[in-house]
Amino acid sequence: MVPARELAADLVNQVLLDGRSLTAALDSVRAGSDPRRLADAQDLAYGTLRNLGRLRFCLRVLAGRPVKPAELAGPLLVALYELDGRDTPAYAAVNEAVNLVGRRHPRARGFVNGVLRNFIRQRESLAGAAQEDAEARWNFPAWWIERMAVQYPEDWQAQLEALNGHPPMTLRVNCRKGSVVDYQARLAEAGIGARQTGESALTLDCPVRVADLPGFTEGGVSVQDLGAQYAAPLLQCEDGMRVLDACAAPGGKTAHLLESHDLDLLALDRDAGRLQRVADNLERLGLQARLSAADAGVPGHWWDGRPFDRILLDAPCTASGVARRHPDGKWLKRCEDADELASQQARLLEAVWPLLGQGGKLLYATCSLFAEENQAQVEAFLARHADAGQEAISLPGAVHGQLRPDGEHDGFFYARIVKT
C-alpha cells in the first residue's frame, strides 16, 4: 500500500512536472487505492498546491540551486507544507520524506535531510523573506497578481486571500425527489449541520465525504457551488422548451435545468470522456437528455437546423474564480492562456448565436474573474450583433453579473443576452 505522503508527492509531481490537472492525477491513482489513504494524500496535495508560491520560495532559498532530479520536488514540497502549515511532528515529516526519497534516489537522502532540517532552523527568517516576494506572499503567479491588481484596484488583496481559503461545501437538492426542508432534516438526523443558502441550496457547516450524504446514490442531492446554481434560474426556461447546453461537462448545470423543468435538452461536450460524466450524473439523478460528443463551435457537425429557445454557454475559461477549489489551476495557467481562451469564447458565441430563435435567450457564463473573459467579451459581442441585447440580472452581491469569491460561493460571471 502506497503511503499517503508518497502518493501526495506523486500527485504534486504530476501537476508540476507533467502539466496534468489535479483532478486527472487523482483519477489516475484512484483505482486500487485505499479510500482513506487517498483522502489523506489528496488533502496534502491540495494544501501543497494552495501554498505553492511560499513553499517554492523556501525550497529555492534552502537548496541554493535547481532541484535535481526534478522528481525530488514533490516529496520536498509536501514535507515543507507539513512542516510549515500542519501539526505534523517535525521528525515524522523529515523522516518520511528522507525514507521516501531513499527508496527511489538513495544518493539524495542527505540533500533532502539537510534542506528540511535547515527549514526548521530558519523558519522565522524565511517567513520574513517570503513577505517580500510577491508569489510567496500571495501564493499566486506574478502575472495573476498583476492582473488582479489592475482590474480590482480597491480589493485585489482580499480577493487573493479569499481564493487561498477553503471553499464551502454546498449541496443542490433534487426538487423532483424532495424539498430542501425535508433534506435538511435528513442531514440533521445524520448529524450533519447545514443552512439554506439558495432556492435549492444547502451549505454544510463542515465538509463531509460524499458517501456520507444521505440519499446521494439515489439521486436526492448533488454537490454544486452556490454560484454555479444561479445558472439554471437565470436562463429562465419553461416546460417544453428546446434547450442547448453547449459546453455541458461535468453536467451540474445540465442536471439542475432538468430538475427544474421538463425540457428537450441537447448537451454537448467535445471531450467524450468528460461527456460520460454528464451521462453518469444524469443516470444517478434519474434524468434524461440527448448527449453528443461534439464541438459547439462547429454546428454543421451536429445541429439539425431547428432553433433553440434557450442556450447555456458555460464557456471554457481560466477558472480564476474557482482557484481555491482547484489550486492546481493557478500554476498550470499562463498569462497567454487568458488571451487564447478569450478567442475561444468569442468563437463559441459567434457559432451558437445563429442557432437561437427569435426572442430566445442565451446565458453566457464563466467561472472567471478576468474582465476580458467576462463583461468585455459580452460588450464586444453586442457591438458585433445589432440583434443582441443584454438583459439586467439580479444576483446577491454581484456587480454587473460578476460574483466574487466569498464565504457563500466561488467567483462566477453571468450575462443574459436576448435575440431581439
Grid cell in block for residue 340: 487564447
**How many Cβ atoms from other residues are within 10 Å of residue 235's Cβ?**
25
Taking the C-alpha atoms of residue 401 and residue 377, their distance in angstroms, rounded to an integer, is 13
Q: What is residue 34's predicted lDDT score, i.e. its pLDDT?
A: 87
What does DSSP say about strands 242-245 and 201-204: parallel, antiparallel, or unpaired? Answer: unpaired
Measure the CA–CA gap between 22 and 27, rounded to whole angstroms: 9
Grid cell listed for 101: 526519497
By C-alpha distance, which of 210, 223, 241, 211 is closest to 168? 223
pLDDT at 1: 56
Residues in the chain, total? 420
Mean pLDDT by runs of 10 across the 420 residues of the chain is 88 96 92 87 96 97 93 97 89 93 94 96 95 97 97 96 95 97 98 97 96 96 98 98 97 98 97 94 97 97 97 97 96 93 97 98 98 97 98 92 95 97
Helix (H) or strand (E) holding 203: strand 201-204
DSSP three-state, residue 391: strand
Quote the Cα angle for 51-52-56, to 5°.
130
367 is catalytic: yes
Per-residue pLDDT at 85: 80
Task: Please state, in angstroms and rounded to a whole number, the distance separating the CA atoms of residues 252 and 250.
Answer: 6
In angstroms, the CA 402 to CA 420 distance is 24
Q: What share of the chain is helix, strand, coil (3-state, %, to 5)?
A: 50, 15, 35
Q: Give per-residue burial for 316-344: e unless 16+ CB within 10 Å, then b.
A: bbbbbbbbbbbbbbbbbbeeeebeebbee
Among residues 154, 135, 153, 131, the alpha carbon closest in space to that of 144 is found at: 135
Q: Which three cell numbers stand for residue 63?
A: 537548496
